[in-house]
Chains A and B, each alone.
Chain A
Amino acid sequence: MDWHQQYIGKVKQAVFHTHKTGRKRVVASTEQNIIATLDLRRGEIFWRHVLGPNDVVDGIDIALGKYVITLSSGGSILRAWNLPDGQMVWESSLHGPKHSKPLLLTRNLIIEKDNVLIVFSNGRLNAVSCIDGEVLWKKDFEEESLEVQQVIQPPGSGFIYVVGFAASSQFEMYKINAKNGELLKHESTAFSGRFTGEVSLVSSETVVALDSTGSILLTISFHNGKISSQQTPVSNLLEDSPGLAVIIHPSVTGIFAIKTDAATIFIRVIGEGKLEVVEKTNHETVVSDALSISEGQQAFALVQHAGSSIHLTVKPAHDWDSNLLKESIKMDQQRGFVHKVFINNYIRTDRSHGFRALIVMEDHSLLLLQQGAIVWSREDGLASIIDVTTSELPVEKAGVSVAKVELNLFEWLKGHVLKLKGTLMLATPEDIAAIQHMRLKSSEKSKMTRDHNGFRKLLIALTRAGKLFALHTGDGRIVWSHLLQSLHKSESCRQPIVLNLYQWLVPHHHALDENPSVLVVGRCGPSSDALGVLSLVDSYTGKEFSSLSLVHSVAQVIPLPYTDSTEQRLHLLIDADKHAHLYPKTPEAIDSFQSEFSNVYWYSVDDDNGIIKGYALKTKCSSNVADEFCFDSRELWSIVLPSESEKIITTATRKLNEAVHTQAKLIADQDVMYKYISSNLLFVATVAPKASGEIGSVTPEESWLVVYLIDTVTGRVLHRMTHHGSQGPVQAVLSENWVVYHYFNLRAHRYEMSVIEIYDQSRADNKDVWKLVVGNHNLTSPVSSYSRAEVITKSQSYFFTHSLKAIAVTLTVKGITSKQLLIGTIGDQVLALDKRFLDPRRSVNPTQAEREEGIIPLTDSLPIIPQSYITHSLRVEGLQSIITVAAKLESTTLVFAHGLDLFFTHYAPSRTYDSLTEDFSYALLLITIVALVAAIFVTWILSQRKELQDRWR
């Protein structure tokens, strides 16, 4: 029923550990700040550490063959982890005079029998002992404008070069004694141009840099402490003007590469600053770092794309024209381009060198290539899911009969007899094995068709890499994956960013034969006025059947509650100029939209300036281009929060697909309160600008939290409440007529959760039974926000132990089942908390009637019941959000939690009152019935006989 998948994210750096006879593994650091070791045979995770969002990994390496060394947090934390089990061995913090590029160097440098790591970070060069993390010596480079680019330790020498630029135009070289950090020599040379920053190290005493115009290459050598340089215009090397070039540094001796828009050019340095182009490739080419394969010999790998396959070439560093390995591997188009490659060698049985390559693809997946085949692959793109939606599976077709898929009656009965034996503890070990086998084999839960209970669905996940995955809820397998071509880097869209995922078509009524589809919204560039991209993807096949490059930007996407005749949902896209664009662009859509035109509003929350504005749609766009799908907006209302005292930190709205069963809430003594149920309700939380930082940065007197409930049609503030001495971060969830939010109370030094329930007082007079019996009331007639309902609110606050990462509420198909809050705790677990604990009508001594109603006596803190962790003992590392989807069974919610890991389970807030459990023994039931019927017959016959005898007496 549950499944849990672990991922590590996009690999930034990988180091192989294959020397020892033990299990071969690879250590990887990722962009999600994870250190992990993977099994090289199968790609499974041995151990994994999540370093937190602010602890960016700058470099990793393996030291002494048993420690994984990581440098993180901009070079200020150096840690050593035990390679086999991932225990931390030591940690040292490296501080320095100023911020700088962190560099980690682990050569076999030995000072007084101690293996030493050289770390340059925060403007200071440190030599750290491998054994215990002790800093042996340090040397500050305090010169203000100095930007250190490379720290070089020529092999076998006792000194270290620190090279960098000062004031962007002066090359600086420091020679430092590796034993004690003493400065041996300092040289500098000024250049006329400015440097872009990156330098490539082509030998232990030569670097290549590119000037800021990207047109002149500088070869700087500092042999024996003397700086000599040579300038070579890029145009000398290439016939055609390449445009702006960027150095990529493969750190291979004698070779470096520059990358232009059109090509990657490999250049060899011959002798004193002479450059020679060795190869110019027009394909996407990726180069690995150098790998020393034997004494004095280095190799590096090149990966190039050619159609649907990739070519992996391993070349020795000294000889460009010869290949150590050349392989062509068929590659799934849906993985995109190769982004990174890491190589490792092994000795074959015939004593030649074999190579294996770990490649990171555009979709963040990780693959191990060996002997021309993919040994394993990991879909690590799933570690960065942006948005998730669900899709129903196809209905079971008439051709595939259920009986064929399942079993015939005899086998069915046999299975149940076996199960019965199991429950009665009569089963032999063979029987138990058979039962286990049966359970595993029953592919019921992973079938590709819709089921009766609505448990089988497709989870469609959009990842940061622009790839869509469809996961089966039964077992979590990937049904299809698709790298969106329209959101691919191209001439027209240089920096595509995927934004969000919406349901475009949900088959219903008269469009049952259509496949469901989803809408992916993207944008070309990080700024909000970049042009938008839409893509429509079929949910069953994963094929992108339509894509649109928009001529306007996308600031907001508003799915409307209307559909056209083919059940395509209408969407309103708001651009940066506040024009509303209607999609799909069909005349039919505009027809159905026209009828509801005057009732569609939209609002925007400007959290930087603290302004909330509401708009209505005006007539057609006034721009010169005639576009009947474009509408102007008219500002209706605005709420301007005082920027000196309030800053918006969180907003929450009701889920669009939430079903509410009833508008009445029954309270004790058969009394009734009418809920204020509106989908146009917006919850806004603001804090004092001073208090928007971390917890504890302000005193309680300077800090407050204000919450608002706003009607987004009229801009009316329905409720406003201030929590003095409280501060964010605020996590909130809004459902039905209540909102629950979590914040920190500075006075009590504890986290708190508050609930606000909102009731419609203007309906409260509907208490005449006779009127209700005859139906003479207006409770179900459509309501308008302009009717100004009189609302009352009730609220209450409670202490809560955990800090939160996410909060959600269970969702059932009809909204009858009582609700539970799903709380993503700081420990990356999901905790279920009954909404009854957050009921503002709780009191210390509830009356008898209130107790009967189920009101829990008030306590100052919310209980955490260990059994209600729905993730059990599992952790969803880096938990980001919890998604709840209603199953067809009213009692059950499908819960999907994602972060770095994925977790899926079924959850029944009020237990599964409407179905029997999977383990229910039908055979036992059947046998009981048969036995009872038999008993009735026997006793009937016996009683007849006895009566007859009595008569004869």
Chain B
Amino acid sequence: MEKGKGIMGSGRRWAVDFSDNSTAPSSRDIPDPPGFARASVDQDDSTVSRQKKDAESNWKTQKAWEVAQAPFKNLLMMGFMMWMAGNTVHLFSIGITFSALWQPISALQGVGKVFEPYKDNKVDLLGPKLLFIALNLGGLALGVWKLNTLGLLPTHASDWVSSLPPAQEVEYSGGGIPL
């Protein structure tokens, strides 16, 4: 509530809140004015605020989905850059590959923070979060795939045997042409 107000009321210097949602008169020192029926007001107010809340949560859900879909564009862009970078190992391709790896990882680390503004007990953030994570994982996979095409992943037998020392020999033989 506070957060939502803060966002909506940005730009205002000050504000007076006329709506009083409290139901218990005992909470105040001043008694209610005569003829003031607290219950009826409450009734009216709650409908208005419910509508308002619904609108807000709708808006939040929409925003959350938007945020969740944002990495997709990133993904396309990354794919294009990778295609441009080629398959040889040089500074440019390595830079792109590592940024392609780093971006999803950092995004996944901050997944809670990204969706915090849209946190609401009425808003279901699971769907957008899952989408966000899936897209970022996709981005990560793209990065790893690129790393592999660059030959920087130990996925071949050659990567594991390249430093194997020669096997020891059981027999020893010496000799040659007599001196």
Residues of A within 8 A of B (CB): 499-500, 521, 523, 528, 554-561, 572, 574, 596, 599-607, 614, 651, 653, 660-664, 666, 670-672, 674-675, 677-680, 682, 712-713, 766-769, 772-773, 779-786, 852
Chain A residues within 8 Å of B173, by CB: 600-603, 614, 680, 712-713
> Are B166 and A677 in contact (CB-based, < 8 A)?
yes
Q: How far is the CA of A769 from the CA of B156 in the complex (A)?
A: 6
A-B interface, 5 closest residue pairs, ranked by CB to CB distance from nearest: A558-B174, A772-B160, A670-B156, A601-B173, A672-B158
Smallest CB–CB gap between B82 and chain A, Å?
A: 19
> CB-CB contacts of B155-178 with A at 8 A, as 1s and 0s?
111111111111111111111111
> Are A671 and B174 in contact (CB-based, < 8 A)?
no
Smallest CB–CB gap between A830 and chain B, Å?
A: 25
Chain A residues within 8 Å of B163, by CB: 661-662
| With known contacts A601-B173, A602-B173, A651-B177, A662–B155 Cβ distance under 8 A | no
- Identify the closest chain B residue to A852 (Cβ): B88
User: Any chain A CB within 8 A of the CB of B151?
Assistant: yes
| With known contacts A671-B158, A772-B161, A779-B161, A604–B168 Cβ distance under 8 A | no
| With known contacts A766-B161, A783-B169, A528–B174 Cβ distance under 8 A | no
Chain B residues within 8 Å of A500, by CB: 179
Chain A residues within 8 Å of B162, by CB: 662, 664, 666, 672
Smallest CB–CB gap between B149 and chain A, Å?
A: 12
- Identify the closest chain A residue to B167 (Cβ): A783
Task: Name the one of B154, B161, B167, B176 contacting A604, with C-beta atoms under 8 angstroms.
Answer: B176
Q: How far is the CA of A596 from the CA of B168 in the complex (A)?
A: 14
> Are A769 and B176 in contact (CB-based, < 8 A)?
no
| With known contacts A772-B160, A779-B164, A678–B175 Cβ distance under 8 A | no
Smallest CB–CB gap between A582 and chain B, Å?
A: 13
> Are A780 and B165 in contact (CB-based, < 8 A)?
yes
> Are A662 and B164 in contact (CB-based, < 8 A)?
yes
Chain B residues within 8 Å of A772, by CB: 157, 160-161
Task: Name the one of A559, A661, A769, A781 contacting B155, with C-beta atoms under 8 angstroms.
Answer: A769
Q: How far is the CA of A554 from the CA of B177 in the complex (A)?
A: 12
Chain B contact residue count (CB 8 A cutoff): 28
> Are A661 and B165 in contact (CB-based, < 8 A)?
yes
| With known contacts A661-B163, A671-B158, A561–B172 Cβ distance under 8 A | yes
Smallest CB–CB gap between A493 and chain B, Å?
A: 16
Residues 117 to 164 of chain B near chain A (Cβ within 8 Å): 151, 154-164
Q: How far is the CA of A672 from the CA of B166 in the complex (A)?
A: 14
Chain B residues within 8 Å of A670, by CB: 151, 156-159
Smallest CB–CB gap between A278 and chain B, Å?
A: 46
Pick from B162, B168, B176 the residue with the most CB of A within 10 Å: B176
Chain A residues within 8 Å of B154, by CB: 769
> Are A663 and B171 in contact (CB-based, < 8 A)?
no
Known: A602-B173, A772-B161. 17 other contacts (CB 8 A): A500-B179, A556-B179, A558-B174, A574-B175, A599-B171, A605-B176, A651-B177, A674-B161, A679-B169, A680-B172, A712-B173, A769-B154, A772-B160, A779-B164, A781-B167, A783-B168, A786-B171
29 contacts between A and B (CB under 8 A): A528-B179, A555-B178, A556-B174, A556-B178, A559-B174, A561-B172, A601-B171, A601-B174, A602-B173, A602-B174, A605-B175, A605-B177, A614-B173, A651-B176, A660-B165, A663-B166, A663-B167, A664-B158, A664-B162, A666-B158, A670-B156, A670-B158, A671-B156, A672-B162, A680-B173, A769-B154, A769-B160, A779-B164, A782-B168
Task: Name the one of B160, B167, B177 contacting A782, with C-beta atoms under 8 angstroms.
Answer: B167
Chain B residues within 8 Å of A605, by CB: 175-177
Q: How far is the CA of A554 from the CA of B161 in the complex (A)?
A: 43
> Are B179 and A664 in contact (CB-based, < 8 A)?
no
Q: How far is the CA of A574 from the CA of B176 in the complex (A)?
A: 11
Chain B residues within 8 Å of A785, by CB: 169-171
> Are B157 and A768 in contact (CB-based, < 8 A)?
yes
Chain A residues within 8 Å of B174, by CB: 556, 558-560, 572, 601-603
> Are A599 and B170 in contact (CB-based, < 8 A)?
yes
| With known contacts A614-B173, A678-B169, A779-B167, A672–B161 Cβ distance under 8 A | yes
- Identify the closest chain A residue to B157 (Cβ): A767
Smallest CB–CB gap between A641 and chain B, Å?
A: 14
Residues 75 to 127 of chain B near chain A (Cβ within 8 Å): 88
Chain B residues within 8 Å of A528, by CB: 178-179
- Identify the closest chain B residue to A607 (Cβ): B177
> Are A680 and B171 in contact (CB-based, < 8 A)?
yes
Chain A residues within 8 Å of B159, by CB: 670, 769
Smallest CB–CB gap between A772 and chain B, Å?
A: 4
> Are B179 and A558 in contact (CB-based, < 8 A)?
no
> Are B179 and A784 in contact (CB-based, < 8 A)?
no
Pick from B151, B158, B174, B179 the residue with the most CB of A within 10 Å: B174
Smallest CB–CB gap between B175 and chain A, Å?
A: 4
Chain A residues within 8 Å of B172, by CB: 560-561, 596, 599-601, 679-680
Chain B residues within 8 Å of A601, by CB: 171-174
Smallest CB–CB gap between A790 and chain B, Å?
A: 15
Q: How far is the CA of A786 from the CA of B172 in the complex (A)?
A: 12
| With known contacts A663-B165, A670-B151, A768-B157, A604–B175 Cβ distance under 8 A | yes
Task: Name the one of A556, A596, A773 contacting B160, with C-beta atoms under 8 angstroms.
Answer: A773
Q: How far is the CA of A131 from the CA of B28 in the complex (A)?
A: 142
- Identify the closest chain B residue to A500 (Cβ): B179
Q: How far is the CA of A766 from the CA of B156 in the complex (A)?
A: 11
